Amino acid sequence: MSQNPSPNIIFILADDLGWADLGVYGQTDFATPHLDALAAQGVRFTQAYSNSAVCSATRFALITGRYQYHLRGGLEEPLVRTAHKYGLPPEHPTLPSLLRDAGYETALIGKWHLGSLPTFGPLKSGYQHFFGNYGGAIDYFTHKPGVGEAVPRDLYEGEVPVERVGYYTQLLANEASSWIGQRSADKPFFLSLHFTAPHWPWVGPEDEAVSRGLTDLFHYDGGNLQTYGRMVQSLDAAVGQVLQALEQQGLSENTIVVFSSDNGGERFAKTWPFTGQKTELLEGGIRVPTLLRWPARLRPQVSEQVTISMDWLPTLLAAAGVAPDPAYPPDGENILPVLEGQAPVHPRQLYWRYKAQRQRAVRDGDWKYLKINDNEFLFDVALDTLERANLKHQHPEVIERLRAQWLAWSAQFHPITDEVMTHGVTPDIQADRYAPERATRERI
Residues annotated as catalytic (active site), given as ranges: 55, 113
C-alpha to C-alpha distance for 309 and 52, rounded to whole angstroms: 9
3-state secondary structure 37-71: HHHHHCEEECCEECCCCCHHHHHHHHHHCCCHHHC
CA angle (89 as vertex; 83, 95 as ends), nearest 5 = 110
Beta bridge partners of 10: 191, 257
CA distances from 312 to 59, 292, 333, 386 (A): 11, 11, 8, 27
Residue 17 C-beta-side C-alpha neighbours within 13 Å: 33
DSSP state of 97: H
C-alpha to C-alpha distance for 56 and 113, rounded to whole angstroms: 6
Which are the contacts of 342, defined by CB distance < 8 A and separation ≥ 6?
none
Residue 215 burial (CB count, 10 A): 5
CA angle (404 as vertex; 401, 409 as ends), nearest 5 = 125
Output the CA torsion sign for 388, 391, 393, 394.
positive
Q: In what order do the strands lie in the sheet with 349-354?
A: 349-354, 359-364, 367-372, 375-380
